[in-house]
Structure 1
Amino acid sequence: MGRRWWTAALPALILGLLMSPADALAAAAPGDGNLAVSATASASYTSSWESVAAIKDDIDPPSSNDTANPRWGTWPETGTQWAELTWSQPQTLRSAQVYFFDDNGGVRVPASWKLQYWNGSSYADVAGASGYPTAVNAYNKVVFNSVSSARLRVVLQSGAASVGLLEVKAYSTESPGNGGGTSGWTPPANLVTPLDQVWQHVESTYNPGPTVFRNFGWDQIMANRGSINYCVRWDSSAPVSAALRDRIHASLARQFKKWMDVMVGHNGWPYTEVPVKVVGWAVRDRATLQWSDNSVDVYVNDIRENAPQCAPPCGRFFNQNGQYPNCPGGAARHYDMSLWLTAGMGGGAGGDWGQRLGSEYFVNNIDAADMHILLHEIGHSFGLDDFYDWTPTGVGGFLMKAGSASRITEFDKWMFRDWWRHLKGRYGL
């Protein structure tokens, strides 16, 4: 059930206080060892209605566009801006987490950023930084070579808008992770051998595909800074009401979330949520879609592979540089994958272009807890293989071995995480 991501048979759209004793450090910081709470905050500039003290209040934001808690912003100032933590005595610093303020308007995530420390005479960049991600709705973690300093500065270079921060956390060790703990590569002992077999099979069979191919679901999410856009190819003459349209969207989002939940808190994965947006529908006949609002773009009678096609100028496969100059709805309405729903189709197919399955199957299972064909095909979009002709040692039924499981199993989860382990370096994480 399904096709691999490399198939050619489907369209390619397819710092506490170091008074010196360790107990003083523990007393000064909260339970997770966040040293920022004992610091004083300052900044290059602060909007009159914002507060730089917000960056060390130890309140975990619900999202980057947090309107309930204090925040630091620099609107209307742009260019290089900074926010700083200062302690009364030097701290041993090893890692930090930064949560960006982004209101999708005048304040956005920075084009770039870095950490600096005061070396006694000037500010210097921390050495050995693990990377500077710019995820929204999540903490961005940086581990660096240990330094002793009484000042830690977050330096932000704005892009098209001003910049801001909701929270900064600092640690004397490698920090707990994305706002509440993270684990690295720690699969159960009984899965180590079969997981190694799977990855060796991928490398030997499709080499150099996994290392050079740049349109996995992983790439799409990271390019979007934590979200995914879909266009629905309605390859059916059955009418679609606005209510059904919205239920299809909700169902797709629920199933996609099952894979994303596998990654939360794991091995530096930067997102706690990955919103799924349906930005367009493609049909043969506009009358099939029984709504007149403009919540999604509608593409009519552009037939490819004998099926309605969403506009190629809006598709990521054709625009992998992330620019969509000819997309009618603009970059915000680009689509990363297609949900191709075909009347009368049995089984499914999946790849970097999206997922294809029967329209009747999808609608009939729209409220199912686990739509196993769709889950299987989404796995292919992230690189997971089929297992038609072999089974890894010591494992039985699992979702990616078609027909042997109806939901994501523990082995599927660790195969999924293994792909992230091998690909995360391409994003500087």
Structure 2
Amino acid sequence: MKRLAILPLLLISTFFLPVEGAVADTNVARSATPSASYTSPWESVAAINDGIDPPRSNDTVNRRWGTWPNTGTQWAELTWPSAQTIRSADVYFFDDDGGVRVPASWKLQRWTGSAYADIPGTYPVAVNAYNTVTFAQVSTTRLRVVLQSGQASVGLLEVRAWAADSGGSTGWNPPSHLVTPLNEVWQHQESTYPNLYGFRNYGWDQIMANGGSINYCVRWDTSATVTAAQRDQIHATLARQFKKWMDVMVGHNAWPYGNVPVKVVGWAVRNRSQLQWSDNSVDIYVNDIRENAPQCAEACGRFFNQNGNYPNCPGGASHHYDMSLWLTAGFGGGAGGDWGQRLGSEYYMNNLNTDNMTILLHEIGHSFGLDDFYDWTPTGQCCFLMKAGSASSITEFDAWMFRDWWRHLKSRYGL
């Protein structure tokens, strides 16, 4: 997977400090393994802890866990390799106003080591919102959501399990076995990239300039057509993969955001007829060609306007884009940098529902400064995402390399 070089820039970005406070609790559901009593063949139990906040109970874009046609008592469960101390949980119900509806009642159970025990609490049942239950903290390796069906089958879109932040992850505290390789990586980057500290358009800079969000343009570099449903799936997949990197930072070392929303603000195509929708949910740019590929307007792109001002962007600064998702027909591998990520359009469309889109995850890592490891391997490490071809998902070592970048850059934001 080729990484495009990050070029030194002379412009200094204007940054806006976030007003959001540090995260008090940590959603430990993301690190659990999900399972269920039953899952409809076309649904996925992995949906319950994929970190995607549903837009509504009848979510037709993201993955869902449902039990149709089964009724009665159904359950979905989160299992951790070690005990977690949990004091509240949020549950978002799947309800398609048809064969899957909110439950008649539900409850949480914890595994005691020999049996499941009910967790006392008040259990609301609402659509289009998280249903929150707070309770005296419990320590368990399994948390089960038990649902009693009413007029139809039942399902869930997301479960969040909240553990109090003990403070152990608030600073720079990598595991001892990673200290040496992490130091090797950082020293290698400092010696290889002389403008490492002077560069001002890493993914970190973009998020902080926006106050905790990121905007994308989709460069549709193919002759294929796109339906509105596919458009929304492309967005949802990008948001899900981007969130995997952001989850690495939650509660860590003064990182100020619990969630970093990803918004697709524009689509660029050669011909308007390729886009088979008529709504105005995104800006559309037609036949604006750069690098022999369609692009969204340069006046709206942060890559071209790194002072953070977009005076000539149609619609103003709210329509600006920080990165591009460049999907090219017949493109092999991937490329990534401060400008965004480039992948094969066929690869992307064939992996819309894949849990880990490996090439995209790898290229997003480059957008935040992570390096390639073609010709060397840090001490004690063999297999990790940024060493292309050796891992399919973000590993512990990738996560700590990512955090190391924040450690060295956070002072530029006054944190």
TM-score, normalised by the number of residues in structure 1: 0.59
Aligned residue among 162, 176, 195 for 1:189: 176
Is 2:364 the counterpart of 1:386?
no
Secondary structure, counterpart of 1:389 in structure 2: coil
Code of the residue aligned with 2:277 in structure 1: it is: W
Question: Larger Rg: 1 or 2?
Answer: 1
Is 2:376 the counterpart of 1:377?
no
* Identical amino acids, percent of aligned pairs: 77
Code of the residue aligned with 1:242 in structure 2: it is: A
Code of the residue aligned with 2:222 in structure 1: it is: S
Is 2:322 the counterpart of 1:320?
no
Is 2:187 the counterpart of 1:200?
yes
1:262-277 equivalences under 5 Å are: 262-277=248-263
The one-character-per-residue Cα deviations of 1:229-259 (angstroms, maximum 9, x if unpaired) are 0000000011000000000000000000000
Aligned residue among 219, 222, 235 for 2:221: 235
Cα distance in 2 for partners of 1:250, 1:226 equals 18
Code of the residue aligned with 1:393 in structure 2: it is: T
Counterpart residue number, 1:3: 3
Cα distance in 1 for partners of 2:385, 2:5 equals 16
Cα distance in 1 for partners of 2:214, 2:273 equals 28
Code of the residue aligned with 1:295 in structure 2: it is: S
Q: Which runs of 5+ in 1 are unaligned?
A: 9-31, 33-62, 64-177
Secondary structure, counterpart of 2:336 in structure 1: strand
Per the TM alignment, residue 183 of structure 1 is displaced from its structure 2 partner at its CA by 1.8
Cα distance in 1 for partners of 2:361, 2:216 equals 15
Counterpart residue number, 2:272: 286
Cα distance in 1 for partners of 2:358, 2:170 equals 27
Cα distance in 1 for partners of 2:166, 2:346 equals 41
The one-character-per-residue Cα deviations of 1:31-72 (angstroms, maximum 9, x if unpaired) are x9xxxxxxxxxxxxxxxxxxxxxxxxxxxxxx9xxxxxxxxx
Per the TM alignment, residue 342 of structure 1 is displaced from its structure 2 partner at its CA by 0.2
TM-score, normalised by the number of residues in structure 2: 0.61
Cα distance in 2 for partners of 1:293, 1:367 equals 25
Per the TM alignment, residue 413 of structure 1 is displaced from its structure 2 partner at its CA by 0.2
Counterpart residue number, 1:368: 354
Aligned residue among 390, 411, 416 for 2:397: 411
Across the two proteins, how many residue pairs are aligned to each other?
A: 262
Secondary structure, counterpart of 2:197 in structure 1: helix
Aligned residue among 339, 354, 358 for 2:344: 358
Any conservation in 2 of the 1:297–1:329 contact (CA below 8 Å)?
Answer: no
| CA RMSD across the alignment | 1.9
Secondary structure, counterpart of 1:420 in structure 2: helix
Cα distance in 2 for partners of 1:274, 1:322 equals 18
Cα distance in 1 for partners of 2:377, 2:4 equals 16
Per the TM alignment, residue 179 of structure 1 is displaced from its structure 2 partner at its CA by 7.8
Any conservation in 2 of the 1:255–1:370 contact (CA below 8 Å)?
Answer: yes
Any conservation in 2 of the 1:384–1:415 contact (CA below 8 Å)?
Answer: yes
Is 2:211 the counterpart of 1:215?
no
Any conservation in 2 of the 1:5–1:381 contact (CA below 8 Å)?
Answer: no
Any conservation in 2 of the 1:240–1:288 contact (CA below 8 Å)?
Answer: yes
Assess, with a 3 A threshold, how the Cα gap between structure 1 residues 411 and 4 changes in structure 2: closer, same or farther: farther
> Which portions of structure 1, spanning 4 or more consecutive aligned residues, are displaced by more than 6 angstroms?
none
Per the TM alignment, residue 2 of structure 1 is displaced from its structure 2 partner at its CA by 2.7
Secondary structure, counterpart of 2:347 in structure 1: helix
Any conservation in 2 of the 1:234–1:281 contact (CA below 8 Å)?
Answer: yes
